[in-house]
Structure 1
Amino acid sequence: MKLQQLHYVLEIVNHGNHLSAAAEALHTSQPGISRQLQLLESELGFDIFARSRNRIEGLTEPGELVVDLARRIMSDVAALSSLKADLQATDRGTLTIATTHTQANYVLPKVIGPFVADFPDVQVVLKQGDPEGICALVQAGEADLAIGTESLHSFPDLVNLSCFALPRVVVAPAGHPILDAPELTLQRIAEYPIISYDSRFSGHWKVRTAFERAGLEPKVVLSAIDAGVCKTYVKMGLGLAILTKITFDPEQDNGLRALDADHLFESSTTCIKLRRNIYLRPYLLEFIHRFASRLTPDIVREILRQASGK
């Protein structure tokens, strides 16, 4: 059994069970991956993937256990690979952050700027994606931490650190009739076309849940993963956008107005996700503390200790 084989299994899963996509991501050949997968399954004595006409359809029941173990192993390997450098230098290295567009554009600049100034020998790398994608990067050892809102799927190998709430606003172009309404209600909002976050983001399903509970079916004319894109189409008059308050700046968002809507829609929560067995480098702990002041190094260590059952 080789680490490379486990890596191949994880890449196949991460790419929707498509061998060709996994091969492209790994810069290798599809037959090569197939051969290594066959060798691994032969050694284990069972199939990892269910197949139909030589196409992978999904994981078998024992295959799901293999994937869980492979993720832990690869995570441990990633931590071990960086341990030597981490022990030799407490204030130099690379900090890889997997994050969403909202965090990268509206939250992190206030933290990363001062952090880079104080830690000039730490290179910060940002990898952007949706909430599930950034968690997958951390789980695979390709990022040190994920910063985003809640994801639809759970990641049992990751530890969740809740940071702060993100209340919502309704963004409309200046002069829009809804700005003159005596009271902002779901019924009033549903009268107009809606611009929404993509369905992979909590901002989409939390907003939709609020309308469903009220027995309303809003007309969503456009969805996007970036608040800036949503605001562009609001300016065009395409509809109203329901966004997190932090993404609206009265000085920069000329021609737009925002109405507080936290009483109508559940807030999203910004979270940090870490691997259970991550080596807590001093500058990683410092970055987390600067991002969320309540998460002191001692508190983070204790949360990870409890999560690991130690």
Structure 2
Amino acid sequence: MKLQQLRYIWEVSRNDLNISAAALALYTSQPGVSKQIRLLEDELELEIFTRNGKHLTKVTPAGKQVLKLAGEILNKVDGIKKISRDHKSPTQGTLSIATTHTQARYFLPDVIKDFIRRYPDVTLNMVQGSTSQITQAVVERDVDFTLITEEMEPRNDLVVLPCYRYSRVVLVPKGHPLSQLAEVSLDHLAGYPLLTHVFNNADAAGVTTLGKAFEKRGLKPKIVFSAVNADVIKAYVRAGLGVAVVSNLAYSDDKDSDLVSISVPHLFDSYLASLVVRKSSYLRGYMYDFIEGLAPHLTRQVVDEVMSLPSPEAQVEYFINIDIPTY
């Protein structure tokens, strides 16, 4: 068994069993990938993939177990390489982060600015997407960290580090009837066309907390427009399409002075932004510093202690008595 063969089956699984796409990602030939997969299956005396002619159709039950271990092995190999780089060039390297548009646009710029000033020779890469997309990115080793703002299903192979809380606001044009109320209710909101982030979709990470609030009240909001980008949502509020429910981070007194921000902490639970890391990851020194710059309570000692815990439930319990900052 060769490490190269494990890389091949891992990359094929990541590319929807498309050998051509995997070969392209691996900078090798399609026949070479197919041959190595066959050699590995022959050595193991089991099929990792089922086939229809020359095409792979699905991963076998045994193949799923093999792929899980292959991912762990490749992650460990990556960790060994990081140890080497940490000793040779502790202030040089790369850092890849996946997050939502709101965090990338409104919260992270100051954090990243401070980090780059401290580590000018570290290249940062950022990927934006939905909660399910960015969670998958860290699972598949495409990024080092994922910063999520919605609940996700507990996974034994991931570590979730609570970073900070923030709230939602309702945005309306100046003079809007909602801006005249002493207190806005969900019933009020349900009476207007609503603009918001991608709403109540079939996201593998679960139904949004915003959707749950309306469902609990037995209301069905009139969603007329949804988008990932808060700036786009604000543009459509300005165009008169409806009222918006967005993060308070997305509103600026200066840049959004033509809109009215209505605080509604009584309507919705606060968001909890959390950093997600693969449990088996080796974190380089500058990665610890990035985490602490993002959330000062997440010191190197805290991160190491949480990553050593045996279960997601133990991770949650660890933070029960730790104050999480609110913005």
- RMSD over aligned Cα, in angstroms? 2.8
2-side partners of 1:134 and 1:109: how far apart? 18
Aligned to 1:242: 245
Structure 1 pair 136–194 and aligned structure 2 pair: CA distance change class (3 A): same
Secondary structure of residue in 1 paired with 2:117: helix
Aligned residue identity for 1:10 = W
1-side partners of 2:295 and 2:307: how far apart? 16
Cα distance, 1:85 vs structure 2: 1.5
Cα distance, 1:54 vs structure 2: 6.7
Q: Is the CA contact (8 Å cut-off) linking 1:132 and 1:153 kept in structure 2? A: no
Aligned to 1:208: 211
Aligned to 2:45: 45
Aligned residue identity for 1:7 = R
Matches within 5 A, 1:29-40: 32-40=32-40
Structure 1 pair 16–250 and aligned structure 2 pair: CA distance change class (3 A): farther
2-side partners of 1:253 and 1:158: how far apart? 38
Aligned to 1:191: 191
Q: Is the CA contact (8 Å cut-off) linking 1:99 and 1:148 kept in structure 2? A: yes
Q: Is the CA contact (8 Å cut-off) linking 1:150 and 1:270 kept in structure 2? A: yes
1:116 aligns with 2:116: yes
2-side partners of 1:17 and 1:254: how far apart? 50
Aligned residue identity for 2:44 = L
What per-residue deviation string (whole Å, max 9, x for no partner) do you get for residues 29-73 of structure 1? 555544443333333333334556776554332222122112211
Structure 1 pair 182–84 and aligned structure 2 pair: CA distance change class (3 A): same
Q: Which residue among 285, 291, 299 is the counterpart of 2:294?
A: 291
Q: Is the CA contact (8 Å cut-off) linking 2:101 and 2:129 kept in structure 1? A: yes
2-side partners of 1:128 and 1:173: how far apart? 28
Q: How many correspondences in the alignment? A: 309
Which structure has more RCO (C-alpha within 8 Å, separation ≥ 6)? 2
Structure 1 pair 121–173 and aligned structure 2 pair: CA distance change class (3 A): same
Q: Is the CA contact (8 Å cut-off) linking 1:163 and 1:271 kept in structure 2? A: yes
* Greater alpha carbon shift after TM alignment, 239-248 vs 173-182: 173-182
Aligned to 1:165: 165
**Unaligned stretches of 5+ in structure 1?**
none
Aligned to 1:218: 221
Aligned to 2:283: 280
1-side partners of 2:214 and 2:48: how far apart? 42
Aligned to 1:134: 134
Cα distance, 1:106 vs structure 2: 0.9
1:175 aligns with 2:178: no
1-side partners of 2:265 and 2:225: how far apart? 22
2-side partners of 1:304 and 1:158: how far apart? 9
* Greater alpha carbon shift after TM alignment, 77-86 vs 285-294: 77-86
Aligned residue identity for 1:101 = H
2-side partners of 1:7 and 1:112: how far apart? 32
Secondary structure of residue in 1 paired with 2:38: helix
Structure 1 pair 31–195 and aligned structure 2 pair: CA distance change class (3 A): farther
Secondary structure of residue in 2 paired with 1:108: helix
Secondary structure of residue in 1 paired with 2:208: helix
Q: Is the CA contact (8 Å cut-off) linking 1:207 and 1:265 kept in structure 2? A: yes
Aligned to 1:11: 11
